[in-house]
Structure 1
Amino acid sequence: MTTTDPSITIQRFNESHIDGITALYNDPAITRQVLQMPFQSTEVWRKRLMPDNERVVQLVALYQGAVIGNIGLEQFSRIRRSHAGSIGMGVAGEWQGKGVGSKLLATALDIADNWMNLRRVELSVYADNAAAIGLYRKFGFEDEGLFRDYAVRDGVLVDALSMARLRATPKAG
């Protein structure tokens, strides 16, 4: 297993990261693996990532100050779904397979478990993204279903998996 370079840091997203996030998600190799549209402006990303909502946590992975990855964790706002949240992430192509995704996911799940008290964390991932699926399974995510013809990618409809990680509820003493 490859370990992450110790000089990679995880920070809460802030205004100084906007250009790096825009570049990350405008990379065609990344855009085709997430649900973002290509050629988004920095203003679109600013509006998307700067909401003042404590139920939304946006983190970035940095190497020498440059954004190399991002993960978002959102606790659902509906009362009956407040035990659950969802994540979405992206890692720069040259950093994939080097532990950056693991570091981002571990940090987000620590927040989900120990600060937001989420029992359920959900995600969707393209069914042919074996590397991402392997990462999620490593962290306890399990397949819950297949979304057929889920989204357009490269001009054709592709499938996605629904995955979730359920955390055991601690028993009262």
Structure 2
Amino acid sequence: MTIQYTSFAYTESYCRAVDVVARERQYLGATEGFPLDASFSFAKTIIENNLAQYFAIDNNQVVGWCDIIPKSYEGLGHVGVLGMGVISEYRGKGLGTLLLQKTIEHARNINHLEKVELDVFESNSSAIARYRKFGFEVEGKRENGRKLDDVYDNILLMRKFI
């Protein structure tokens, strides 16, 4: 198992990993992955701009990812948005912690980033605990922010100054 910076060589595998986690309908806002061409475009943006994205690789396949992408609107570029996921068979092995640590270290080197924000479903207690361990704090809550399969979940808005 290795943690490494994003590369085009892993874009298809990353695309599959996002789809697998999204189809669990529990952890990501999306319920299915993104098209491959959109994933290549995303990778191109990350690589060309030296943005923070790391993969957990096992047997030459992406089994987890973490990224911090700066907001693009004028006046918001000092804020990065964190996204991450780990395929179910690899959870509970410390990969999320390793990915988050490496990605935050990289984001600190992007001079204009001062703050990292994320949205997390309140039912995802293990992710919330990991974020708190890294110094993230809740700064708001969207009550019943998600309704999926007739079940509501609150969305916690968390942040960390870096």
TM-score scaled to structure 2, two decimals? 0.84
1:164 aligns with 159
Deviation at 1:45, TM superposition (A): 2.6
Secondary structure of the 2:45 match is coil
Partner of 2:57: 62
The answer as to whether partners of 1:83 and 1:117 remain within 8 angstroms in 2 is yes
Contact 2:19 2:34 (C-alpha < 8 Å) held by counterparts: yes
Matched with 1:33 is 27
SS in 2 for 1:80: coil
Instruction: Tell me the equivalent position of 1:17.
Output: 10
Structure 2 equivalent of residue 141 of structure 1? 136
Count of residue correspondences: 159
Q: Which moved more, 1:85-94 or 1:47-56?
A: 47-56
Given that residues 32 and 154 in structure 1 are in contact (C-alpha distance below 8 angstroms), is that contact kept between their aligned partners in structure 2?
Answer: no
Residues 61, 146 of structure 1: CA spacing in aligned structure 2 closer, same or farther, 3 A cutoff?
Answer: same
Q: Which runs of 5+ in 2 are unaligned?
A: none
Q: Which residue of 2 aligns with 1:170?
A: none
CA distance in 1, matches of 2:38, 2:74: 29
Q: How many angstroms does 1:148 deviate by?
A: 1.6
* Structure with max Cα Rg: 1
State the alpha-carbon separation in 2 of the partners of residues 112 and 19 from structure 1.
24
What is the one-letter code of the residue matched to 2:40? R
Aligned to 1:3: none
What is the alpha-carbon distance in structure 1 between the residues aligned to residue 36 and residue 73 of structure 2? 30
Which runs of 4 or more aligned residues in structure 1 lie more than 4 Å from their structure 2 counterparts after TM superposition? Answer: none
Give per-residue Cα distances to partners, 1:22-56, cap 9 Å, x unaligned.
22122233x43101232644234333443365274
Greater alpha carbon shift after TM alignment, 85-94 vs 115-124: 115-124
Which residue is equivalent to 1:4? none
Instruction: For 2:11 and 2:157, locate their aligned partners in 1 and report how far apart those are by CA, in whole Å.
Output: 29
* SS state at 2:67 partner: strand
Q: Give the corresponding residue for 1:114.
A: 109
Residue 98 of structure 2 corresponds to residue 103 of structure 1: yes
Unaligned runs of 5+ in 1: 1-6, 168-173
C-alpha separation between the residues in 1 aligned to 2:29 and 2:102?
22
Q: Distance in 2 between matches of 1:37 and 1:56?
A: 25
Give the structure 2 partner of residue 132 of structure 1: 127
CA distance in 2, matches of 1:114, 1:143: 24
What percent of counterpart residues are identical?
26
Aligned-pair Cα RMSD in Å? 2.2
Give the match's secondary structure for 2:66. strand
Query: 1:139: how far off?
Result: 0.4
| Secondary structure, counterpart of 1:43 in structure 2 | helix
